[in-house]
Structure 1
Amino acid sequence: MRARPSRLLHLSPVTPAPDAAPLRLVDVQAAVSAELDRIAPVIDELGERFAAAGHELALVGGPVRDAMLGRRSNDLDFTTSARPDETDRILRAWGDAWWDMGRDFGTIGCRKGDWVVEVTTYRSEAYDRDSRKPEVQYGDHLAGDLGRRDFTVNAMAVRLPGREIEDPFGGVMDLAHRVLRTPGTPEQSFSDDPLRMMRAARFAAQLGFAVDPEVVRAMTEMADRIEIISAERVRDELVKLICAPHPRLGLELLVETGLAERVLPELPALKLERDEHHRHKDVYEHTLTVLEQAIDLEPRLAERGDIAPGPDFVSRFAALMHDVGKPRTRRFVDDGTVTFHHHDVVGAKITRKRMKALRFSNEQIEDVGLLVELHLRFHGYGTGEWTDSAVRRYVRDAGDQLERLHVLTRADCTTRNQRKADRLRRTYDDLEARIDRLAAAEELASIRPDLDGTQIMEILGIGPGREVGEAYRFLLELRLDNGPMETDDATAALKEWWAARS
């Protein structure tokens, strides 16, 4: 294993991420050996095919890093001395399906059974300071290709078919330390590609790694460089960060370095000033805690709803944004309290505007915005004073986001007063039980009037038009107030409404 021997003997402690276990080099070596044996059907055969054609091939980047961490994946990245046309020829003789959308960047992909493979020609890139798009130049050496990568833990390779590990920048040791460093100076790396600053935060969140102080300093000094990156690229990194196992680590790094001011300014804005006369909960810390509690509650979404298991961006981002309306709505009261009236409505508008700027889909914007807008609705429930009509409206307004609203509302309780926390939990348990009972009796998931449009026109003797819509809305409100009605009763109510309207 080609790591720097002198560094092997001088491991210094690095602040571990939550639930992080120390990594020993012997464990790293055992993990990578086991993973290479598992993927041997791919790496050995491909290595031999490229070697027979006179080319070098190496497993590189994330797959090598993950192998050392004991993580498994069937998506494998390789780098090679072969040019794209020759790579394409070799893969077509081996794989089951092929694609070359990345040919302009030297990348050819294929699928072989359950394996997905991408092979990229050695690259040596030159960057325009005002653009993150590199001018692609092919290289001739593996070390040069590794040197252009973002972090040392991603700048390791396994030469094939011999399985020699290449680690010219000490990635093995950084992985053992659980620390992120750049192969060269962080200033040069971030100047070449400012998106790497976002990736530092994302990898901290994904891997639970600390970030080298020099990298943090460079991120802080160069935060404004992120502004040349497209909104779509920033959005994609932000989504990966928020869906990572430890998003708090990445978000705190974005705030600490000033990057959040450029990409998600609503987050650092939650650090509201406090004084000795007007005290309120730390909104920034509260928000990060709500996010973590929402993550803990995510299994509910798969158990009770139709949301796939795993990280759920919509519920996580709603938790992160639920209080962003507070800075604009904060008011000081003479008795020493602070109010944030209507911060739910204001926050929903702010959230939709930010997500639109980051080029999120309209569906995601509306889903997250709705959750932010409704996150306080439960607090009007009191100790169960809501009528059945109010419960129906709660379900109707939440629509297909009801299960996510349950998660957000429960996560929003961060009080340290155990008695109060238990009371809120029991009260929400009661609300959910009432929803379940009404749902079983009334099909709440698809609340509709007791008469449809055709019946409305027949009963009132009118054709299609505005009046039908008004009648439909009247019947819907009647349904929400009274629950299901017999057809005769609904018909009588409709005629009475029509007569009074006329």
Structure 2
Amino acid sequence: MIFKEALTLEIFTIISKASAELKVDSYVIGGFVRDFFLKRGNVKDIDIVAVGSGIELAEKVADLLPNKPKVQVFKTYGTAMLRFKDVEIEFVGARKESYSEESRNPEVSEGTLKDDQNRRDFTINALALSLNDANFGELLDPFNGIEDLKNKVIKTPLNPDITYSDDPLRMMRAIRFATQLHFEIETTSLSSINKNADRLEIITRERIVDELNKIMSSAKPSKGFLLLEETNLLPQILPELIALKGVEEVEGQKHKDNFYHTLEVVDNIAENTEDVWLRWAALLHDIGKAPTKRFSKKVGWTFHGHEFVGSKMVYKIFKRLKLPLNNKMKFVQKMVLLSSRPIVLASDVTDSAVRRLVFDAGDDINDLMTLCEADITTKNPKKFKRYHQNFEVVRTKIKEVEERDKVRNFQPPVTGEEIMGAFNLKPCREIGQIKEAIKEAILDGKIPNNHEASYNFMIEKGLSLGLKQA
């Protein structure tokens, strides 16, 4: 079958010309071809395989392009990359691969196109289109990947036990593609992931997290997490999430399954934000419930302090997975710590409580409200409607309080220097006490958030501490 319409981009004509001049066969392979047949637009990268030197082909292509782009060469891997009109194009020579048990990095030798297609992870990624004059646009599909695309199936070209054992990251990729494309993993392949799950230990945390973030960024992340749990990969990555699984019953009282609840929350938030870190906050918002779960005869199941415990667990999880230990982590910690505050507020919306919430959340207040609204997973339509209406009341109150009291990213209206001047002080603990008292008075609504009221309150507080005015 000829598919010249797939190769309308100017770059393919140039690669074809470069291939002819070098007398090497070349093919576009992998994601570009897959996405063409899936009618997924927005081309960001293209993989080219040459039956010969991929590096030489890249350099020849660059020479033929009008802007002579720089070619990045990766000699260790025998690959080269250049950019053309916001598209990254990677060139590699066709190759065979052989693996050792201890590493996912293969020994590589030159091979044919068929050898190169054999080493691909999935049939849908082994599709190739010819860039050669003799059969330009011809589809080469040795594993019937087109049928797998039509049937929405993830399947390995060769024995899945070999494919996954050789490079265990492919297990994560299978689940990621199934999640992103809304495909199903073929039964034998799914069984093989379960069988080879322990092989994941040879994969670096960074590579695992890269796939995990792609799952998290999909339209319905729960599909991926359920597959990770079903295949025994999740306990190796996030055992804390697995600890939330299950329902206990004591004296006829049950609690909800916090694992499945969490996945519902992640799906809910995915409908309202593409921010992967807010999605991480949704995934970890109840992570402290397993270690804080207790049963009381008076009140039933409790999870006292799970937000505080959960926020502490975020650091350990991020460190173990080698996620960024920077403001992204601090944002997730903050969201987890504050995740129940708006819920409590919804039943008693006082100005003071709203001021404190806005003060603590700062610029992240809207993200916090988005998280809390996603946390509504009740199947009772009346409750669902009431909870959302309550949060609308909270959002309105936040807006009113913020406009009136300006407590977001609060800065004390009276400075330390003014306090020292008013009482003829040198740096001392009383200055901190006065500043804290002013902040609390503003948050409690005892005084307005302005300089005059704060200065007068400062004088009263200083005198009550036994200080003398200058």
Q: What TM-score results when the alignment is normalised by the length of structure 2?
A: 0.91
1:248 CA drift (Å): 1.6
* Secondary structure of the corresponding residue to residue 78 of structure 1: strand
Change over 3 Å in CA distance of 1:382–1:245 after alignment to 2: closer
Give the corresponding residue for 1:156. Answer: 127
Deviations 1:316-364 (A, max 9, x none): 1111221222222222233683222222222222232112211111222
Give the corresponding residue for 1:25. Answer: none
Higher relative contact order (CA 8 A, sep 6+): 1
CA distance in 2, matches of 1:335, 1:123: 68
Query: Is it true that 1:182 corresponds to 2:145 in the alignment?
Result: no
1:464 CA drift (Å): 4.8
Name the amino acid aligned to 2:50. T
Name stretches of at least 5 consecutive residues in structure 2 with no aligned partner: none
CA distance in 2, matches of 1:354, 1:441: 39
| Corresponding residue to 2:458 among 494, 497, 500 | 494
1:251 CA drift (Å): 0.8
Superposed, 1:5-404 pairs within 5 Å as: 34-37=5-8, 39=9, 41-72=10-41, 73-95=43-65, 96=67, 97-100=69-72, 102-135=74-107, 137-161=108-132, 162-275=136-249, 277-298=252-273, 311-334=274-297, 337-362=300-325, 363-383=327-347, 385-404=348-367
1:283 CA drift (Å): 1.8
* Secondary structure of the corresponding residue to residue 101 of structure 2: coil
CA distance in 2, matches of 1:454, 1:351: 38
Name the amino acid aligned to 1:93. D
1:84 CA drift (Å): 4.6
Q: Pick which of 452-461 and 104-113 moved more.
A: 452-461
- Could you tell me whether the CA contact under 8 Å between 1:63 and 1:76 is conserved in 2? yes
Name the amino acid aligned to 1:291. V
Q: Pick which of 188-197 and 467-476 moved more.
A: 467-476
- Could you tell me whether the CA contact under 8 Å between 1:450 and 1:484 is conserved in 2? no
Change over 3 Å in CA distance of 1:470–1:126 after alignment to 2: farther
Deviations 1:187-222 (A, max 9, x none): 111111111111111111111110011111111111
- Could you tell me whether the CA contact under 8 Å between 1:319 and 1:408 is conserved in 2? yes
1:77 CA drift (Å): 1.5
- Could you tell me whether the CA contact under 8 Å between 1:206 and 1:241 is conserved in 2? yes
Q: Pick which of 47-56 and 61-70 moved more.
A: 47-56
1:85 CA drift (Å): 4.3
Change over 3 Å in CA distance of 1:212–1:446 after alignment to 2: same
Change over 3 Å in CA distance of 1:281–1:82 after alignment to 2: same
Change over 3 Å in CA distance of 1:75–1:501 after alignment to 2: same
1:88 CA drift (Å): 4.0
Change over 3 Å in CA distance of 1:469–1:233 after alignment to 2: farther
- Could you tell me whether the CA contact under 8 Å between 2:55 and 2:78 is conserved in 1? no
- Could you tell me whether the CA contact under 8 Å between 2:55 and 2:73 is conserved in 1? no
Q: Pick which of 288-297 and 199-208 moved more.
A: 288-297
Change over 3 Å in CA distance of 1:216–1:422 after alignment to 2: same
CA distance in 2, matches of 1:486, 1:366: 30
RMSD: 2.1
CA distance in 2, matches of 1:263, 1:247: 15
- Could you tell me whether the CA contact under 8 Å between 1:449 and 1:479 is conserved in 2? no
- Could you tell me whether the CA contact under 8 Å between 1:272 and 1:327 is conserved in 2? no
CA distance in 2, matches of 1:175, 1:230: 30
